[in-house]
């Protein structure tokens, strides 16, 4: 049973890997698989050899819970997970890739392009009948991860304010209906959304049964149907 999209369906083939690719490559010493779910979920079973993300699932800084880990924190975490700058990192979770893609983004932000998200995550791994493990692997030591130049991956408040008044820009709110409509605060001081933002919750780009990403063709159609223009500079939150 495969059930996954073949990689040729996507224009950028360096974002995802399929379970069928990971199975024969999982013992490669230059690959580190990271389970991005909670500690309890990891203890209940995980991909053999995978390490567990030892931080908040959104990879937040211990110094400031609002922002992503700083250079030093991220370098130390990666080195302690047996990752250096030559390591191919594969991220996964059992949450429709919510946390796996967040970690992918942080690696990308710090200039590490050798990172892929496992399409379908834990659910696809199990659906294909692969083994699970309950043991923590031995971490490869003597690894040193050095953060690269930060790519232009996130915007400041002023950037977003300016984008609201520029025709060539678009604000995309990927949160829940309740958060967008202001009926759910998530403990934030204020509710609602950025004025003029288009709303499409992130999981609409996923197959919620299989946890696989929808095909590129389907994703483009969904975005177009919801007024999201790929020819504009898009700011998401």
If pLDDT is split at 50, 70 and 90, which confidence band does 150 have? confident
pLDDT interval class at 37 (50, 70, 90): very high
Domain 7-127, CATH class in plain words: alpha beta
pTM of the model: 0.92
Q: How many CB atoms lie within 10 A of CB 130?
A: 14
Quote the CATH superfamily of domain 157-236: Rhodanese-like domain (3.40.250.10)
Looking at the chain, the domain(s) classified CATH 3.40.250.10 span: 7-127, 157-236
Query: Where is average pLDDT lowest: 70-84, 118-132, 147-161, 196-210?
Result: 147-161
Q: Would you mind telling me the total number of residues written for the chain in this entry?
A: 237
| pLDDT given at position 2 | 38
The residue to which tokens 């990666």 are assigned = 78
Average pLDDT over residues 169-175: 98
Answer yes or no: are the C-beta atoms of 127 and 211 closer than 8 Å. Answer: no
Residue 190's pLDDT is 92
Give me the sheet containing 198-199, strands edge to edge.
198-199, 169-173, 233-236
CA angle, residues 38, 96, 208, in degrees to nearest 5: 135
User: Average pLDDT over the chain, rounded to whole?
Assistant: 93
Q: 195: part of which helix (H) or strand (E)?
A: none
What confidence category does residue 183 fall into, taking pLDDT thresholds of 50, 70 and 90? very high
CA distance 194 to 197: 6
Rounded mean pLDDT, 4-16: 74
Q: Comparing 3-7, 21-25, 66-70, 195-199, which segment has the lowest mean pLDDT?
A: 3-7
């Amino acid at each position: 049973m495969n059930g996954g999209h073949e990689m040729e369906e996507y224009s950028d083939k360096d974002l995802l890997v399929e379970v069928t690719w990971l199975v024969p490559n999982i013992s490669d010493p230059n690959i580190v698989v990271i389970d991005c779910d909670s500690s309890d979920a990891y203890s209940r079973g995980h991909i053999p050899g995978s390490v567990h993300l030892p931080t908040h699932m959104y990879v937040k800084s211990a110094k400031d819970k609002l922002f992503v880990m700083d250079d030093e924190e991220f370098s130390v975490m990666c080195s302690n997970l047996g990752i250096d700058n030559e390591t191919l990192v594969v991220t996964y979770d059992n949450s429709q890739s919510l946390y796996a893609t967040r970690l992918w983004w942080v690696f990308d932000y710090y200039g590490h392009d050798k990172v892929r998200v496992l399409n379908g995550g834990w659910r696809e791994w199990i659906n294909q009948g692969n083994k699970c493990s309950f043991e923590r692997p031995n971490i490869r030591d003597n690894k040193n991860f050095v953060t690269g130049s930060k790519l232009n991956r996130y915007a400041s408040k002023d950037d977003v304010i300016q984008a609201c008044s520029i025709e060539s820009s678009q604000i995309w709110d990927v949160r829940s209906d309740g958060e967008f409509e202001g009926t759910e605060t998530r403990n934030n001081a204020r509710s609602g959304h950025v004025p003029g933002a288009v709303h499409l919750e992130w999981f609409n780009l996923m197959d919620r049964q299989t946890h696989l990403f929808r095909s590129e063709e389907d994703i483009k159609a969904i975005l177009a149907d919801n007024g999201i223009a790929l020819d504009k500079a898009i700011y998401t939150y």
